[in-house]
Structure 1
Amino acid sequence: MSAAGAPAMVDPPVVIQGGMGVGISGWRLARAVARTGQLGVVSGVALDVLLARRLQHGDDDGHIRRALAHFPVPAVAQRVLDRYFMPDGIPDDQPFRPVPRIGLRNRRHQEELAVVANFVEVFLAKEGHDGPVGVNYLEKMQLATPAAMYGAMLAGVDYVLMGAGLPTEIPQLLDTLSVHAPARLSVTVHGAAPGETHHVALDPPDLLGEVPGVLRRPRLLAIVSSATLAIYLARDPATRPEGFVLEGPVAGGHSARPRGPLTLNADGEPVYGPRDRLDLEKVAKLGLPFWLAGGQTGPERLAEARAAGAAGVQVGTAFALCRESGLDPVLRLRMLRDAAHDALVVRNDARASPTGFPFKLVHLSGTVADADVYADRPRNCDLGYLRTPYRRANGAVGYRCPAEPVDQYVRKGGSVEETTGSHCLCNGLVATIGLGQRRPDGYTEPQLVTLGQDLAFLTQLTRPGDDYSAADVVAYLLGEVRC
């Protein structure tokens, strides 16, 4: 056992499939990759709302109900089913039933839903094969982490990947949850008084009423953007992960801010310089396996990574555009056609994300990257995964998001400037997999799409009018001949 409690990594995967977006890296994609022997990864973001909406759609293929039947405490799974399942499917003109927003003090049914949803996604990804499966979480979403992670562990997840922050407390959290002990995770509260601490807690025995035997602890891979961060995490056994994913700025989704003063190019994108380059030699000296991410799609990139000491590469965009991706199929094929004509534009928007970090947006008409669609969308924050906890004047904790109505955000102590250009990633990303909310007035949430900025691989991976699978991506990366 390693210092953090996970088994030593004997034969690490060469290819890691990125844990992308909300539902893009769903169980079908992760299972397809894992079946090749490489690491398939499900996105752990917002799985509670995805499960609730899929059940309201009627679960036509029965996959969710089959997974629920394997949940170790049937009564908990049944309560989730009773609350959200609609056998005949929700009418087209009816809004989805809301899912409670996460907070410091979550209600029991919210915790149950989060645990069950993560169990279901990982269970389905692992079903029918013995390949490795991981789950990807955002450190920024601290409020959601304990319940989500526990659900994935109940399903036997092999790896946990975490970025968008430093997962310093995650090794201990994994150790604690593996024995079903009460766990807590620190939560950053903006404006907290000196010495004031906040945390979110999960008590598995209290939540489930009964617990199975000791769980196998998954390995933790920390997603970082510099050698400095890797060194910081590796220096202490309490914070040391089992490996690292080193992510460059062209990768999809969020990017680290450039070091030094922020400079924008003519398209409004952050400019990265020499200080942002990854020092692979320093990371290699840590003695932990690492993978390179961001613009790594190709056998020559994999060879270069391994020559530099990496175990392999993490690839996202190529998998996001494959057949097993959770992307709306019409939208996915549209992007493949645009890319074939060199007309697919991906920009790293410095203001789009409520987190304040640069975020890649695919510029497609009809999506919220379209200025007219963005202007017409009513500002709404009813999912709230990226809300920031803040200290109110009376000492209580409130929640705010730059993508919520401007007057509400300002009333909560935010500035008007922070709201300019801010997109509701939560609703937009959920809409991108076909589960967008339908408002009572008939308004339907528009889609929001993110990809990496390196699309050169498509000329090698696809042929004119061709579609491709997750297995094709793995074969291409490993230099194998496609059938």
Structure 2
Amino acid sequence: MQNVATVALPRIIQGGMGVSVSNWRLARTVSLLGQLGVVSGTAMDTILVRRLQDGDPAGRVRRALSAFPFQHWVKPVLEKYFQPEGRRGQPYKRVPMPSRLGDTASQIMHVLGGYVEVFLAKEGHGGLVGINLLTKLQIPTLGTLYGAMLAGVDYVLMGAGIPREIPEALDKLSAGETASLKLDVTGWTGADAPRLHFNPQEIAGQAQALKRPHFLPIIASNSLATLLARKVTGTIQGFVIEGPTAGGHNAPPRGAPVFDERGQPVYGERDVVDLEQIKALGLPFWLAGGTGSPEALESAINQGAAGIQVGTLFAYSQESGFEAGLKERVLEQAARGEVRVFTDPKASPTGFPFKVAEVEGTLSQPEVYRRRTRVCDLGYLREPYQVADGKIGFRCASEPIEQYLAKGGDLANTEGRKCLCNALLAAVGQGQVQKNGDPELPLVTSGDDLERIGRFVARFGTRYSARDVVAYLLGEKAFPQTKTQLVAGG
């Protein structure tokens, strides 16, 4: 039998954006306002160690780490990475990139990173907090999820792929049992697909039951919704239905690729989700992509949705992780109607279309992109592939071209590829200084709503808060919270 819980559903889900754009401050603020605040779960290990190397000036990271229930894992991390006086212009120490399928202990930095972010977002209140992960970033997933669950995360959201094994993994982790995920390996010829394993008892020392968070896959098709609702082990508790106007990675269009005059992929009728079919599945859903207005919220409710997921408006609030000067510069440009968002079919090494705001001085400008020396030193978007001896190697279409080709990569895949790992960290003020002395430059990802943000900025100014966003979206007529039956983990 499955456990059924009656819960109040949030009208607004704050998007889990970028690398630390949706940081704990933003998620905490939205949660305190009665909505679902969401932290980004991408690159949590690097975010953690770079905050420590920047001196952790308010001591928040160390306070969160002091609450981690298994302290023997914390001390060596502080000894290696914490710099009380900051880096003083020196490069960041990097977390080593995985070169093989590691054991559970190799996941400890992801565990700690996920724990710290959710702990700080939930500290001192009982509001709802979620974490957003990318399905395609497979290696960090189980460790990050476990760390977030140790901190009491309420929701897990995942898109950019087909997260069909996540419901069962959440069930296993909540029971203190070993969870595993299939690793997608290009060219794999073995009888059994490689799997990533995570045993919580190797971290905790014993089996420990944890709250099983609700799972909301982010989907862009009816077929995927049906698959996840009916044909997975474990349960899901609803959907976020994301259209191609949303920021970050978008699902590619269905059918033969067609591009507009700017080189953007063209989406058609086949890419529109039939909400009547979604409603027939009997689970709550939220609409995302171009939903940053009170009119969009009202329309979503009228179509049967529980509410909306909003990214862009929250991304430029004072609480978000975007570097302050970059944030204000983008908003001033948007307020003048001078910012454009380009759905770049080539930017991401994953091959998924990726939304890029065209901002001066960032990698969105071709001449800036061409000046960057290619380097792959973070490796989150690397592609696992089978090498000649049957082992697993890793390559990235954004790494130095000669290295990529030596690993069997196709030259055509390197064209226009950007190092999203380094660029997105630079966008939140954690850019690396490379060995040649060059600072990594940012890349800004935003939904199409950025081109229409002028009306909002005219009302609230360029230094608005997440509280302003929630008030704007709910309007004078705040919709009452509704209760629905959510199927919890069985």
TM more than 0.5: yes
Count matched residues. 477
Alignment CA distance shift 1:449-1:98 (3 Å): same
1:21 aligns with 2:18: yes
Aligned with residue 358 of structure 1, among 353, 358, 380 = 353
1:273 aligns with 2:254: no
Paired residues of 2:24 and 2:117 also in contact (CA < 8 A):
yes
Q: What is the 5 A alignment of 1:80-159? A: 80-92=77-89, 94-102=90-98, 104-106=100-102, 110-159=106-155
Could you say which residue in structure 1 is the equivalent of 2:164? 168
Q: Which has the higher contact order (CA 8 A, sep 6+)?
A: 2
Paired residues of 1:160 and 1:220 also in contact (CA < 8 A):
yes
Paired residues of 2:105 and 2:202 also in contact (CA < 8 A):
no
Q: What is the 5 A alignment of 1:448-459? A: 448-455=443-450, 456-459=452-455
Aligned with residue 307 of structure 2, among 289, 300, 312 = 312
Aligned with residue 224 of structure 1, among 219, 224, 228 = 219
1:296 aligns with 2:291: yes
Deviations 1:262-306 (A, max 9, x none): 111111101111111111110011000000000001111111111
Paired residues of 1:76 and 1:208 also in contact (CA < 8 A):
no
Deviations 1:117-165 (A, max 9, x none): 1100000000122110000001101111111100000000000000011
Q: Quick one: distance in 2 between partners of 1:458 and 1:474?
A: 17
1:177 aligns with 2:173: yes
SS in 2 for 1:143: coil
Q: Quick one: distance in 1 between partners of 2:227 and 2:191?
A: 23
Alignment CA distance shift 1:461-1:373 (3 Å): closer
What is the TM-score of this pair, normalised by structure 2? Answer: 0.94
Could you say which residue in structure 1 is the equivalent of 2:429? 434
Q: Quick one: distance in 1 between partners of 2:240 and 2:370?
A: 37
Q: What is the 5 A alignment of 1:230-379? A: 230-236=225-231, 238=233, 240-379=235-374
SS in 2 for 1:454: helix
Q: Quick one: distance in 1 between partners of 2:104 and 2:77?
A: 11
Paired residues of 2:337 and 2:454 also in contact (CA < 8 A):
no
Deviations 1:14-73 (A, max 9, x none): 100000000000000000000001000000000100100110111001000110111001
Paired letter, 1:227 = N
Cα deviation, residue 461, structure 1: 5.2
1:38 aligns with 2:40: no
Aligned with residue 45 of structure 2, among 32, 42, 48 = 48
Q: Quick one: distance in 1 between partners of 2:256 and 2:231?
A: 31
Q: Quick one: distance in 1 between partners of 2:151 and 2:99?
A: 24
Q: Quick one: distance in 2 between partners of 1:440 and 1:385?
A: 20
Cα deviation, residue 201, structure 1: 1.2
Could you say which residue in structure 1 is the equivalent of 2:441? 446
Could you say which residue in structure 2 is the equivalent of 1:387? 382
Q: What is the 5 A alignment of 1:463-482? A: 463=459, 465-480=461-476
Q: Quick one: distance in 2 between partners of 1:185 and 1:220?
A: 16
Q: Quick one: distance in 2 between partners of 1:175 and 1:108?
A: 18
1:206 aligns with 2:202: yes
Q: Quick one: distance in 2 between partners of 1:183 and 1:118?
A: 17
Cα deviation, residue 465, structure 1: 4.5
Paired residues of 1:305 and 1:313 also in contact (CA < 8 A):
yes
Paired letter, 1:396 = K
What is the TM-score of this pair, normalised by structure 1? Answer: 0.96
Moved more, 23-32 or 264-273: 264-273
Could you say which residue in structure 2 is the equivalent of 1:57? 54
Deviations 1:217-251 (A, max 9, x none): 00000000011210111113515411100000000
SS in 1 for 2:459: coil
Q: Quick one: distance in 2 between partners of 1:32 and 1:462?
A: 22
Q: Unaligned stretches of 5+ in structure 1? A: none
Alignment CA distance shift 1:122-1:83 (3 Å): same
Paired letter, 1:292 = L
Q: Quick one: distance in 2 between partners of 1:131 and 1:414?
A: 46
Q: Give the alignment's Cα RMSD to 1 decimal.
A: 1.7
Q: Quick one: distance in 2 between partners of 1:25 and 1:460?
A: 20
Could you say which residue in structure 1 is the equivalent of 2:487? none
SS in 1 for 2:58: coil
Q: Quick one: distance in 2 between partners of 1:144 and 1:80?
A: 17
Alignment CA distance shift 1:431-1:271 (3 Å): same
1:69 aligns with 2:73: no
Identity %: 50
Cα deviation, residue 195, structure 1: 2.4
Paired residues of 1:475 and 1:481 also in contact (CA < 8 A):
no
Q: Quick one: distance in 1 between partners of 2:339 and 2:135?
A: 30
